[in-house]
Amino acid sequence: MPDPIMIGTALAATALVAAAALLLCRLLWRGAGSERASPAWALSLGPAIFAGCWMLDVRPHWPASEALDRFLIFLLPTIVIIEVLASLRRFPAWLAWLLRICCAAGAARILLHNTVYLSDLAGPGSSEWTRAQSLQILAGLAAGATVVWVALVLLTRHAPNRSIPIALALSSGGAGVTVMLSGYASGGQLGLVLAAALAGATVASFLLHGSADATSSIGVAVMTLFALLLVGRFFGELTTTNALLLFFAGLLCWLPVLLPYVKRMGPILRGTLQVLLVAVPVAIAVLQAQQKFLEDFSAGSDEPSVEDYRGYDQ
């Protein structure tokens, strides 16, 4: 983990970029009437995530030989473009859904490209998964990404509320910390950056009337979280349990909308409940990762942590 001042500055800058971009987009699009949903959220989150990663030195390299490079160069811009297209009134809704599903289905394959899981990198027959296993795992990952993306877009349309991006910010921040504690420090920073971008855009949305429609933020947030957890699980030491807890936590936002008694609550109470529900699995994942980190790293002694080492600069 880098210097806390540096990371704090980068996250503050990320939030500011997201907020400024959202305000700018809303001003430019106001009254245009050419869109069915606001693309402002997607257009603010994309550049903010890129800027935050850049400031934290998580920069894409070309050729994109590593998973995070491929996410920042290919996937993130693709998701932003899909969400902008999906927000346009003239763009067929079925095509927007098809693009979302294709993107969700292909993301894992892109991120795992040319790794020991899928390719014989250490000699003939050395890939860790057989062809059948690869198909099953990639299909499972594709299904998971699609379900969460679709479910949260539907929820945002059904009951628009800023609590959904706030809940996603919470799970992204938790995922960032968990991935860091799971042995992949720079990868985990992506989660913190996403959390900061979502927080910045959410705060800015309060300043503008009609900015609660965060539909276009869902794709960016869900797929960035998906990429973060995938790299943490398959390139770091993130456990499958923690990855599942963090990724599916957002689905708990549906509960207050579905439960008969709770759904009659006011939007603020319901939104607060949504965020609190998401906080539970996120807290469990972070605590589990912290416990494992302490066991693996210092065996309970008072030795310096990995943050101490990485934060040290003469």
Binding site for another protein (CB under 8 A): 57, 61, 65-68, 114-117, 121-122, 126, 183-187, 231, 234-237, 293, 296-298, 306, 309-314
Min dist CB 124 to another protein, Å, is 13
Ramachandran sector of residue 35 (left: φ over 0; alpha: ψ -120 to 50; beta: rest):
beta
Alpha-carbon span 150 to 218, nearest angstrom: 9
309 C-beta neighbours (distance < 10 Å), count: 10
Are 34 and 25 spatial neighbours (Cβ–Cβ below 8 Å)?
no
Min dist CB 113 to another protein, Å, is 9
Q: Which residue, 150 or 185, is less far from another protein as judged by CB?
A: 185
Angle (CA) 194 12 179, round 5°:
40
Q: Which residue, 128 or 248, is less far from another protein as judged by CB?
A: 128
Q: Which residue, 29 or 297, is less far from another protein as judged by CB?
A: 297
Alpha-carbon span 301 to 208, nearest angstrom: 51
Min dist CB 313 to another protein, Å, is 5
Alpha helices in 211-266 (DSSP H): 215-235, 240-248, 255-258
265 C-beta neighbours (distance < 10 Å), count: 14
Q: Which residue, 134 or 186, is less far from another protein as judged by CB?
A: 186
What residues have CB less than 8 Å from 78, skipping those under 6 apart? 103
Min dist CB 133 to another protein, Å, is 15
Q: Which residue, 57 or 267, is less far from another protein as judged by CB?
A: 57
Min dist CB 203 to another protein, Å, is 31
